[in-house]
Structure 1
Amino acid sequence: MSAPPPTDVVKLLLVDDLPENLLALQALLRDDGLQMHCATSGEEALSLLLEHEFALALLDVQMPGMSGFDLAELIRGSSRTRQLPIVFVSAADRNQAYSFRGYENGAVDFLFKPLDAQAVKSKVRVFTELHAKSRALRRQLVELETARAEQQQLLDTLQRTQADLQRALKMRDEFMSMVTHELRTPLGVMALEVIMRRSRLDKGDLAWFSPERLQAMIDKDDRQVRSMTRLIEDMLDISRIQHGRLSIHPRRTDLGELAGRVVADFEPQYQQVGLTLSAQPGIVGEWDDSRIAQVLVNLLSNALRYGQGRPVHVEVGLTGDGFARLAVTDQGPGIPAEDQGRVFQQFERLPSTGKAPGMGLGLYISQQFVQAHRGRIGLHSEPGRGACFEALLPLTAA
């Protein structure tokens, strides 16, 4: 099988009903840069025109059946071949009416028999060079359009990158502002407590430090320290998540027992609200108990913060498809459907939450922890009917 011709080969269409005339033309125009296709009828020429792109057509005028003029009219009538230069080859007299008819049918020139070899070569060379330049120009236009498209793509990428950078800078500024605020509050409370206690000591008022008051001081200090520790841990977790360094260490864990320990730790904070737990016994899986405990801590903290002082219920069970289910349900204002996808984003705090404390990181971190266990976390809520956050965990190790 022969190799396909190179794409830069210039093709000529030669049409004459006499094979000897075609041979003579081929011999005359034989050149390494030209590829000649011959047809002995108008129908055969039309078939070749459908297969090839020609630089020039040399048409014999006086052919039986479809004449050269008829073929030229058909060539001009097709959008594919309308721009093809046509040179008529004729043995007729060079009268003006004959030439006019030829030009009217789309000819760009006439060659009269007997052919002048130099004139034929010269005219063919002109049209083939024009065709080569036209094709080169089209290639350049394609290359320019490709370059323009690539440049536009790069510009779009640059604009997106710039927008991402601006969002990142804005997020960083908001993050630093929130961190400063969240740390200032407990530090401010502790600083005031220190000033007050030092003042009492300076005055020698040791009676003021009664056992009950000391216990209250310790409890308050413990809450402030835990608040700051929690904030720092959240910041560290965010950094680990963003840098792909979040570690999970699964081990055999009883989910009901884990939930019981976390709920017991929260009972002092929920004394005025009410916190209940229902746990199906024997739900054991391969999980990182510290990470899953933090998920429950985050969900309970949110429920305490946004539950409007109403009872909260924790549930541990199994789903029909073999997942462990850990759910926290509050009786707060609920979350509209259009906002439910946003609550798991970083620093996201919905307008309906008002000015409640927090940085909007708990649910995002919880989602990352659950997904690291190949589980999923979701929200079921309607405005005015509370919210239920549930984590579904596979029983096997991540």
Structure 2
Amino acid sequence: MSVQDPSKLLIVDDLPENLRALDALIRGEERLVFQASGGEEALALMLEHEFALAILDVQMPGMDGFELAELMRGTERTRNIPIVFVSAAGRELNYAFKGYETGAVDFLYKPLDPDAVRSKVNVFVTLDQQRRQMQRQMAALERSRQEQETLLRELNQTQGELQRSLRMRDEFMSLVAHELRTPLNTLFLETQMRSLQLKRGTLASIQPEQFDAMIKRDERQIKAMIRLIDDMLDVSRMRSGQLSIRPAQVELMTLLERVVSDLSLQATATGCKLSLQEHPPVQGCWDEFRIEQVVVNLLTNALRYGGGQPVEVSVQYADNMVRIHVRDEGKGIAPQDLERIFEPYERGARNGEPKGLGLGLYISRQLAVSHGGELRVTSKPGEGSTFTLSLPTCEQTVPAATTA
């Protein structure tokens, strides 16, 4: 125990000269001595401080030492304070017996033996120091236990996240292999067929329209692989904060008309009607390539999961904020999946439906955030979905959001 945390001693006597004498006798560097001239004052001090020892004079006017001791033993806070009685009365009054009955640990008669008093006080100060030291050790052990529990929870959480990351990595690698295998197999078979025809000398028998169809198939497979690789590169750039956004003046309606026109053949192939509602021109400061990337992704998903039902693109503009709505009439999205679909490698398709790497919506939302905007979805199962891309028309480009 340090001097900054001394043991507290209480002496109670109605005579000031007795208090001064006893104070001088027991005071020390590791102690604080408190004085009280009566029982009520002593109780007030005991309710405020934690004492290692209380030395009580027996014969005091008003509340005597025995009455004070009884009150101390009846109060939880003061019940365990060691009590030493001091009395000038003769031994024949049997005060010592009564003192021990009230819970005193010792009884001293005046005139006091200084060595005996100091020795007894030293014992209780030592006990108090040991008790406090034990309390500090117990508190330190409890803090250590709590820290260990916290560390264990964090380790378990980290282990769980690591296991999840490993599972995601394995699933992702398997998914990439699967997604790339299909176009590669198609290209390989096409190459093998042409090689065989070349060896047999039958290449000239292939009609021009057949060549055209083969070239278009090759282009589709190559574009599919490029799209997969571009998505993976975009995610890597976003996570490292290296995604480049190059804002410039863009006329939104022209961009949307071009995208809808480009996807019209795909829409026709799915039996879907793709339409763009008319709207006056809207100028904004965006990266045209990236905004087109988001719109193409939203429309491609709408055509893919819309079940052949109409897909509509509409625009709202107010207060320097433009909102692009892509609405389909497909089977919709379950409430628990509305945010999950924006996570990387999460796919809405199941049970043989169209698949992919599950990066499109994640990339699209990050691109929206990179332009100071947002991407949201509203949907009810059986009632279709509406994806809304909100963009400020003035330049508010911010760094791409990153995901650990």
Per the shorter chain, which TM-score range?
A: over 0.9
Query: What SS does structure 1 have at the residue aligned with 2:81?
Result: coil
Query: What SS does structure 2 have at the residue aligned with 1:100?
Result: helix
Alpha-carbon displacement from aligned partner over 1:239-284 (angstroms, at most 9, x marks no partner): 1122222221111111111112222221221123221112422211
Q: Normalising by the residue count of structure 1, what TM-score does the alignment of the two structures yield? A: 0.94
Structure 2 residue 297 is matched with structure 1 residue 305: no
Range with bigger deviation, 5-14 or 166-175:
5-14
- 1:91 CA displacement: 2.0
The aligned residue for residue 401 of structure 2 is none
Query: What SS does structure 2 have at the residue aligned with 1:348?
Result: coil
After superposition, the Cα gap between the structure-2 partners of 1:183 and 1:351, relative to the gap in structure 1 and judged at 3 Å, is closer
The aligned residue for residue 245 of structure 1 is 242
After superposition, the Cα gap between the structure-2 partners of 1:274 and 1:69, relative to the gap in structure 1 and judged at 3 Å, is same
* 1:144-183 matches, cutoff 5 A: 144-183=141-180
Contact 2:335 2:380 in 1 (8 A): yes
The aligned residue for residue 284 of structure 2 is 285
Match of 1:104 among 101, 106, 114: 101
Alpha-carbon displacement from aligned partner over 1:86-112 (angstroms, at most 9, x marks no partner): 101112333595333212222111111
The aligned residue for residue 87 of structure 2 is 90
Question: Aligned equivalents of 2:98 and 2:309: distance in 1?
Answer: 98
After superposition, the Cα gap between the structure-2 partners of 1:67 and 1:230, relative to the gap in structure 1 and judged at 3 Å, is same
Query: What SS does structure 1 have at the residue aligned with 2:342?
Result: coil
Quick one: which amino acid aligns to residue 381 of structure 2?
Answer: P
Structure 2 residue 159 is matched with structure 1 residue 135: no
Question: Aligned equivalents of 2:92 and 2:136: distance in 1?
Answer: 41
Query: What SS does structure 2 have at the residue aligned with 1:268?
Result: helix
Question: Aligned equivalents of 2:376 and 2:51: distance in 1?
Answer: 66
Query: What SS does structure 2 have at the residue aligned with 1:130?
Result: helix
Query: What SS does structure 2 have at the residue aligned with 1:327?
Result: strand
- 1:235 CA displacement: 0.4
Question: Aligned equivalents of 2:291 and 2:278: distance in 1?
Answer: 15
- 1:207 CA displacement: 4.1
Question: Aligned equivalents of 1:268 and 1:193: distance in 2?
Answer: 24
- 1:206 CA displacement: 3.4
* 1:7-22 matches, cutoff 5 A: 7-22=4-19
Contact 1:255 1:283 in 2 (8 A): yes
The aligned residue for residue 273 of structure 2 is 274
After superposition, the Cα gap between the structure-2 partners of 1:304 and 1:158, relative to the gap in structure 1 and judged at 3 Å, is same
Structure 2 residue 234 is matched with structure 1 residue 234: no
Quick one: which amino acid aligns to residue 191 of structure 1?
Answer: F
Quick one: which amino acid aligns to residue 338 of structure 2?
Answer: Q
Contact 2:349 2:355 in 1 (8 A): no
- 1:6 CA displacement: 5.1
Match of 2:202 among 199, 202, 205: 205
Unpaired runs of 5+ residues, structure 1, are: none
Contact 2:274 2:312 in 1 (8 A): yes
The aligned residue for residue 358 of structure 1 is 356
After superposition, the Cα gap between the structure-2 partners of 1:68 and 1:345, relative to the gap in structure 1 and judged at 3 Å, is same
* 1:38-49 matches, cutoff 5 A: 38-49=35-46
Alpha-carbon displacement from aligned partner over 1:52-95 (angstroms, at most 9, x marks no partner): 22111000011111111111122222222221111011123335
Question: Aligned equivalents of 1:101 and 1:284: distance in 2?
Answer: 99
After superposition, the Cα gap between the structure-2 partners of 1:354 and 1:338, relative to the gap in structure 1 and judged at 3 Å, is farther
Question: Aligned equivalents of 1:346 and 1:364: distance in 2?
Answer: 5
Question: Aligned equivalents of 2:53 and 2:228: distance in 1?
Answer: 80
Query: What SS does structure 2 have at the residue aligned with 1:129?
Result: helix
Q: Normalising by the residue count of structure 2, what TM-score does the alignment of the two structures yield? A: 0.93
Alpha-carbon displacement from aligned partner over 1:282-308 (angstroms, at most 9, x marks no partner): 211111111111101111221122111
Query: What SS does structure 1 have at the residue aligned with 2:249?
Result: strand
Contact 2:3 2:30 in 1 (8 A): no
CA RMSD in angstroms comes to 1.8
Contact 1:255 1:316 in 2 (8 A): no
After superposition, the Cα gap between the structure-2 partners of 1:44 and 1:207, relative to the gap in structure 1 and judged at 3 Å, is same
Contact 2:320 2:394 in 1 (8 A): no
